[in-house]
């Protein structure tokens, strides 16, 4: 068999990449719409085509195994890719090749066994590369989760040390002074005893606050109640906040409910603390197959490019939590025009609340 397929791919590589780029830009994904990410995908697509062309020329049509496909791993400097996005990119490349090949005159178009070999090689290359990128992304997210757990433990340790342990240390000091003054200065001893009691009460109050922060409030309350309680815990605030939750929260699996709460809570807190807004609206709609939320404020806004919210810890955490659920977080903002954060999370299950 000749190398008609290889010749076609070589001649029309640029057209395939152009079609691939157009598909990536039209995909409903904030990640794929970023120019830097698209450039990385195009570079990788060119490598895939080059590898397939080389195998077609060599005649290595039926490899003895697929272990060798993992040796040419994706560029470590490339974009991390959620499996959902990776699947979209893989499908887009395969379709781009198919469309261009079908545009070839029938007389020179790869057919029969040659076409089967071409698409088999292409499929293996695409799957191997995008699987490797997805595994890298999942590993990154798992590392972020481990770091988040460590950070939370350190935060709790600091609060116990600074608030609870500090108060108990003071109370112990007052008790010891009470013993010192009990015989010679009973009035002063009573003052020290009262101070010790007051300090113990403060210690118990601080301990309750720490414990309340550790509870999964969303497990025992509705999403709206949990968000409202979080606002109350922030104390006095300049902005008016309106929280609306519609739909049946029974459609939310417990894990998704907790992550969704943390995402919306972060957006809500950012708006209240940093936007200098007069009004913040939080709207959440739960449907059998998805959750959509919007947190919008009329505050100062910011330049999305100049501020680079992807590098912001809170924004990065929100996006990664959403990605773990197969969803996304989109930010819309302009200086002086407020900010709008859109959250999308797909759900598995049916209207009976049987979510998995």
Q: What is the pLDDT of residues 192-251, one digit of tens each?
A: 899 888 888 888 877 876 776 665 455 546 888 888 888 876 766 778 999 999 999 888
Note the pTM of the prediction, 2 decimals.
0.51
- 229-237: long-range contacts (C-beta < 8 A, 24 or more apart)? 230/265, 230/268, 230/269, 231/268, 231/272, 234/269, 234/272, 234/273, 237/272
> Tell me, what's the pLDDT at 356?
44
Sign of CA dihedral 249, 252, 257, 259: negative
Within its chain, how far is the Cα of 198 from the centroid? 44
Choose among 295, 290, 197, 177: nearest CA to 243. Answer: 295
Segments in the chain below pLDDT 70? 1-2, 27-36, 60-82, 84, 155, 163, 209, 212-221, 233, 235-236, 306-313, 349-356
Convert the pLDDT of each residue in 33-59 to its tens digit: 455 677 778 888 898 999 888 888 887
CA distance 199 to 167: 6
DSSP 8-class letter at 71: S
Between CA 22 and CA 17 the distance in angstroms is: 9
- Residue pair 327/345 in contact (Cβ under 8 Å)? The answer is yes
pLDDT at position 264 = 93
Cβ neighbours around 79 below 10 Å, total: 22
Residue 290 is predicted with a pLDDT of 92
């Amino acid at each position: 068999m000749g190398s008609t397929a290889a010749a076609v791919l070589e001649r029309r590589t640029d057209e395939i990449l152009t079609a691939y780029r157009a598909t990536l830009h039209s995909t409903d994904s904030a990640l794929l719409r970023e120019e830097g990410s698209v450039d990385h995908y195009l570079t990788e697509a060119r490598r895939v085509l080059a590898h397939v062309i080389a195998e077609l020329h060599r005649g290595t049509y039926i490899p003895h195994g697929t272990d060798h496909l993992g040796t040419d791993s994706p560029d470590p400097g490339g974009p991390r890719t959620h499996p959902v996005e990776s699947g979209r990119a893989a499908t887009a490349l395969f379709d781009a090749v198919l469309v261009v090949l079908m545009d070839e005159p029938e007389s020179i178009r790869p057919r029969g066994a040659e076409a089967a070999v071409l698409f088999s090689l292409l499929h293996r290359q695409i799957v191997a590369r995008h699987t490797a990128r997805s595994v890298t992304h999942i590993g990154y997210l798992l590392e972020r989760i481990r770091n988040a757990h460590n950070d939370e433990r350190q935060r709790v340790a600091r609060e116990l040390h600074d608030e609870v342990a500090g108060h108990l240390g003071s109370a112990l000091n007052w008790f010891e002074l009470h013993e010192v003054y009990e015989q010679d200065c009973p009035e002063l001893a009573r003052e020290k005893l009262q101070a010790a009691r007051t300090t113990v009460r403060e210690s118990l109050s601080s301990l309750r606050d720490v414990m309340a922060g550790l509870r999964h409030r969303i497990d025992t309350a509705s999403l709206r109640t949990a968000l409202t309680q979080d606002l109350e815990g922030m104390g006095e605030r300049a902005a008016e906040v309106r929280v609306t939750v519609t739909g049946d929260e029974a459609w939310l699996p417990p894990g998704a409910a907790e992550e969704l709460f943390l995402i919306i809570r972060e957006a809500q807190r950012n708006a209240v603390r940093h936007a200098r807004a007069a009004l913040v609206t939080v709207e959440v709609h739960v449907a059998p197959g998805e959750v959509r939320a919007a947190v919008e404020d009329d505050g100062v806004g910011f330049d999305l490019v100049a501020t680079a919210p992807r590098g912001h810890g809170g924004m990065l955490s929100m996006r990664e939590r959403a990605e773990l659920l197969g969803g996304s977080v989109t930010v819309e903002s302009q200086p002086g025009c407020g900010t709008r954060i859109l959250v999308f999370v797909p759900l598995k299950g049916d209207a009976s609340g049987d979510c998995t």
